Chain A
Amino acid sequence: MPTAPVLEVRGLEVRWSRRGGPVPALRGLSFSVEADDVFCLVGESGSGKSLTALTLFDALPEGFSLAAGSVRLRGEEVAGTDAGRRGMAYVFQDPSSALNPVFAVGRQLESVHRARGGGGPSLVREALEAVAIPDPASRLRAYPHEFSGGMQQRLVIAMALLARPALLVADEPTTALDPTVQKRVLELLSRVARERGMAILLITHDFGVVAAMATRVGVLYAGRLVECAPASALFAEPLHPYTRMLLASRAEHGFQPIPGEVPSLLNPPAGCPFHPRCPHAMAVCREEFPSAAERPHRVVHCHLHPGHA
C-alpha cells in the first residue's frame, strides 16, 4: 500500500464574512506534499498564500472561516482542529514577530522545547548547531535584538526544528532579508530538510527562490490554484497563461509586461479570474471556471487545456 503524503489538501474553501456579505477567499484548493518535497506556493499579494498556511494551523484571522475541504497530515484529518500544529511548524516572514524581545533566546528555545515534551537540553544546542549559529553556548544568553535579521531567522528555524515537524511551513522566510543573507538562509533550510527528512511548504512570490528550492510548484491567483506541476516542468513548459506571462515578466525575459491589475478579493472576476488580463480569453472564460485538466504529474485550470471528458 502506498504511504499517505505528508500533507494532502483537498477542496479547501475559506470564506471571509464581512458586512456586505461573505466573499470566498480560497476556492477549491487541492494539492499534496510528499516526504521529500519542497512544495512552493507562489502568488502575488492577496492571492491567498498566507491564508492557505494559516488554515493548516487552524489560525485563520478574525472574520475568516473554513467553509469546506479536507487537510490530511500523514493521512489523518486535521482540518478545523489544532492537531496540525503538532506535526507542522511555521516560520514567518518577519522573524522578530516570532521572538519575544524581553527574554534571552536560550530561554525561549527551552520553553518551546519543554512545551513539546522536552528530551534533554542537548536538543536545543543541536538545533542551534543545525542552523549554523556560531558559538551557540554563549549566544543562548543574548536577546533577540542582539542578532541580525538573518541570525534571527535562523533562531526561528531552530525553534521550528525543536518540534521535529514532518512538515515545515515557511511563509516568505527570506523576503525581508538581503540577497546575500537570503541565500544562506535558503541553503540552510534545504540542508536541514534533507538531513531530517522533513518536507517543506515554502510560500513565496519570488520565482528565483522557487527555481532554487522547489521540487513542486503550485501557482495561486485570486484564491484559486490555477496550475500545479513539478518545478522542472513548470519552468520548461508553463501551461497556464498566467504562469507563462509571470515568468516572462521577469528580468531574464526582458520584463515583458502583463496588462491590467491584480483583482481584489472583494470582486474577483467571474469565470476564470485571469480572463480580464489574458490574451487568450474566450467567451467561456468569462462564464466558467475551468475544471482541472490532469496531465502526468501536473494539473492546470484553463480552458485552453480541457480536462478529460
Chain B
Amino acid sequence: MLEAEGIVKEFGAGGRRVRALKGVSLCVREGESVGLVGETGSGKTTLAKVMMGLIRPEGGSVRARGTPLESLTAAGRRRFRREFQMVFQQPLASLDPNFTVEQTLAEPLAVHAFPGDERQGRIRRTLEAVGLLPEVLEKWPAQLSGGQRQRVAIARGLILDPALLVLDEPVSALDLSVQAQVLHLLAGLRRGRGLTYLLVAHDMGVVEFLCDRVAVMYHGVVLEEGPVGEVWRGPLHPYTRRLLEARLPLEPGRGVGEAAAEAPPLPVWDRQPPLEEVRPGHRVAPAGP
C-alpha cells in the first residue's frame, strides 16, 4: 500500500552533512500495522515524513498503491493527501494555537472541498469517534489537557476518512494515566475502520500492543524486521537484543542488571546492508559492517 525503497536522506550542507537515512526500504501492506522502533535520531521520523511525501529524499523512491509519488497526477496527489494522514509527535506543537478545535477540524474539509452541508456532521462523528464532547469545539489548544489535545490531533488525522495513518510517538508526550486510554482508542479505531498504521515508537510495549510487524532502526538503517511477537521473543540482531535488554520490567528487587551495562557501542553502517530472510517475513542484517 505504501512502500519506500532505498531511501537516502541527508540534512545540512557542506562538511556538516548528516546522512539520516542510508538506503532504507520499508513496506506497509493494506490493513496491517507496522511499528518503527529505534533510539532518538535513528531516522524514524525522517523515514515517516519521506513516506508521506513531506520531505524529498536524495535517493530512492516511495510508491503509494504502486505509483511513485513523483509521478502522481494532480488528482492522484490530492487523493494521496486525503487517504494518507500523519499525526505528529508533539500534539501541542502540531496544533495551530490560533485555531479553535472546530477550525482545526474544518480546515482539511475546506482544503479538500467537502460540501458545506456535510462538514458539520463529519466533524461531529469524528469527535465522537475519538471520545471528545462537542463542547471542546469552541476551545483553543491551550485550554485543552494533553490527552484532549492528542485526541484532537488524531481527529484531524481521521477527519478525511484516510486509509492509512502515520502515528509518530502518539503517547509519549501524554500523562502516564492517560496513555492507556489513547492506546485503546487507537486499537479500537483500527478495528472499527480497517485502518492501516505506520507507528513510530520507542516503547516496545506500545508496539507490541498496536502492531503486527516491527522494523528496528539504528543510525539510518533497518537492522531487523518481522512479526512483532517473533522479533521480541527471538531477536536475531545484537542491537535488537540490546534494546530489549534495556527494558526495565515492572518487577522490583531485580536491580538494573549489570552484565550488559558497559557493552561497547555497536558499529554504525554507512549504508543499508542487505537483510537476510531467516524465517518467513523475519529478516535481519549481518551483525556488523
Contact = CB atoms under 8 A, between A and B. Distances in A.
Nearest to A205: B176
Interface of A is mostly: helix
Interface stretch (B22-30, B157-165, B180-188): B180-188
Nearest to B251: A211
B203 A246 contact: no
Interface size class of B (residues with CB under 8 A): 35 or more
A132 B262 CA distance: 9
Contact of A258 (B180, B250, B254, B261): B180
Interface stretch (B56-64, B96-104, B204-212, B267-275): B204-212
Contacts of A242: 177
A281 to B, nearest CB: 16
B79 interface: no
Given A44-B175, A179-B247, A251-B209, A212 B181 contact: no
A294 interface: no
A257 B180 contact: yes
A251 B206 contact: yes
Given A250-B205, A261-B147, A211 B177 contact: no
B76 to A, nearest CB: 38
23 contacts: A44-B175, A44-B177, A179-B39, A180-B246, A182-B246, A183-B245, A183-B260, A205-B176, A208-B247, A210-B252, A211-B250, A232-B253, A234-B252, A235-B252, A247-B250, A251-B205, A251-B208, A252-B249, A255-B205, A258-B178, A261-B147, A262-B145, A264-B145
B161 to A, nearest CB: 25
Nearest to B147: A261
A242 B177 CA distance: 9
B71 interface: no
B249 A249 contact: no
A234 B176 CA distance: 18
Interface stretch (A19-27, A106-114, A184-192): A184-192
B287 interface: no
Contacts of B255: 190, 212
The 3 residue pairs across chains A and B that have the minimum distance between CB atoms: A251-B205, A208-B248, A179-B246
B256 interface: yes
Contacts of B261: 183-184, 187
B172 to A, nearest CB: 10
Given A179-B247, A187-B261, A246 B177 contact: yes
B40 interface: yes
B179 interface: yes
A178 interface: yes
Interface in B238-288: 242-243, 245-258, 260-262
A187 B251 CA distance: 16
B246 A258 contact: no
B9 interface: no
A179 B247 CA distance: 7
Given A44-B176, A205-B176, A261-B147, A214 B252 contact: yes
B213 interface: no
A183 B145 contact: no
B248 A187 contact: no
Interface of B: 39-40, 145-148, 175-181, 183-184, 202-206, 208-209, 242-243, 245-258, 260-262
Interface string A14-46: 000000000000000000000000000000110
Contacts of A250: 205, 250
A47 to B, nearest CB: 9
Interface string A241-267: 010011101111111111101101000
Contact of B256 (A207, A213, A249, A259): A213
Contacts of B256: 183, 186-187, 190, 212-213
Interface of A: 44-45, 132, 178-180, 182-184, 186-187, 190, 205-214, 231-232, 234-235, 242, 245-247, 249-259, 261-262, 264, 277
B250 A208 contact: yes
Nearest to B209: A255
A249 B176 contact: yes
Contacts of A132: 262
A234 B254 CA distance: 15
Nearest to B204: A251
A148 to B, nearest CB: 10
Given A179-B247, A190-B256, A206-B248, A257 B205 contact: no
Given A44-B175, A44-B176, A179-B247, A187 B258 contact: yes
A255 B202 CA distance: 16
A208 B260 CA distance: 17
Contacts of B179: 249, 255
A18 to B, nearest CB: 16
A247 B261 CA distance: 26
B253 to A, nearest CB: 6
Given A183-B256, A251-B209, A261-B145, A212 B177 contact: no
B254 A212 contact: yes
Given A190-B256, A212-B255, A249-B179, A180 B39 contact: yes
Nearest to A180: B246
A182 B247 CA distance: 10
Contact of A211 (B206, B243, B249, B260): B249
B176 A246 contact: yes
Given A179-B243, A251-B209, 17 more contacts: A45-B146, A178-B202, A180-B39, A182-B246, A183-B261, A184-B261, A184-B262, A187-B257, A187-B261, A211-B248, A212-B255, A247-B250, A249-B179, A251-B206, A255-B209, A258-B177, A261-B147
